[in-house]
C-alpha cells in the first residue's frame, strides 16, 4: 500500500522542483511544445533576465528557424539586433513589408511601441526617427486594419509620441487627436 503512495509523491516532488525553477520550466515548455511561440518567448525572457543576452539572442534565432512565419518573433529579433549593434537593413525591409500585409491581430501594441522606440532612440545602425515613422506608415497601409479604430489609434498615438520627442508640438497634438 505504501509503495502506491510513493509513486505519486515522487511525481509531485519532481513537478514541484520544475515549477520552482523558471529556467527549467521554460526549457521544459519549449521541449514539450517546440512550435509554441509563447514558450520560446518565455525562454528568451528568462535567459535575458538571468543575464545571458547572447544565449537569449541565439535562442530567438533558433525560434525563427522553427517558426519562420512568427511576426512577434521577427519583431523581437529586430529589436534585439538593434540593441546588439547588428546591421538591421534587411530585417527593416522585411518587417516593413510584413507590417503592410500581415493580419493586425498578430501585432501587439507593446511590441510595435518597442520597435518604434528602439529605432527612434538611434539604437539601430543606419535607421532614424524617419524610419520609425516608416514602420508606422507600413502598418497603416495594411488592408486588414480596414476601418477598425483600435489599430489606427495605436498608430496615431505612436506618431504623436515620435513628434513629441522631436519637439513638434503641433504635429504631436494632431496625432493625438
Q: pLDDT tens, 36-59?
A: 888 888 998 999 899 998 888 888
Residue 91 vs residues 38, 85, 88, 142: alpha-carbon distances, Å: 21, 13, 5, 18
Contact call for residues 109 and 151 (beta carbons, < 8 A): no
Count of beta carbons in the 10 Å neighbourhood of residue 100: 15
Q: What is the pLDDT of residues 121-168, one digit of tens each?
A: 888 888 888 888 888 888 888 887 777 777 788 888 888 888 888 888
Closest CA to 57 of 67, 48, 66: 48
Confidence band for 17, pLDDT divided at 50, 70 and 90: low
**Rounded-to-integer distance, Cα 27 and Cα 39, Å:** 8
The pLDDT assigned to 101 comes to 81
Amino acid at each position: 500500500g505504501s509503495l502506491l503512495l510513493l509513486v505519486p509523491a515522487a511525481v509531485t516532488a519532481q513537478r514541484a522542483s520544475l515549477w520552482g525553477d523558471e529556467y527549467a520550466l521554460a526549457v521544459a515548455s519549449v521541449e514539450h511544445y517546440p512550435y509554441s511561440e509563447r514558450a520560446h518567448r518565455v525562454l528568451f525572457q528568462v535567459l535575458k533576465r538571468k543575464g545571458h543576452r547572447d544565449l537569449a539572442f541565439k535562442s530567438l534565432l533558433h525560434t525563427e528557424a522553427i517558426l519562420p512565419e512568427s511576426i512577434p518573433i521577427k519583431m523581437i529579433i529586430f529589436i534585439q539586433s538593434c540593441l546588439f549593434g547588428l546591421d538591421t537593413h534587411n530585417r527593416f525591409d522585411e518587417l516593413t513589408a510584413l507590417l503592410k500585409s500581415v493580419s493586425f491581430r498578430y501585432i501587439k501594441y507593446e511590441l510595435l511601441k518597442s520597435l518604434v522606440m528602439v529605432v527612434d532612440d538611434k539604437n539601430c545602425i543606419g535607421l532614424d526617427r524617419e524610419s520609425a515613422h516608416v514602420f508606422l506608415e507600413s502598418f497603416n497601409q495594411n488592408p486588414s486594419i480596414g476601418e477598425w479604430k483600435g489599430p489606427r489609434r495605436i498608430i496615431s498615438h505612436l506618431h504623436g509620441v515620435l513628434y513629441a520627442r522631436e519637439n513638434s508640438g503641433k504635429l504631436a497634438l494632431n496625432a493625438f487627436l
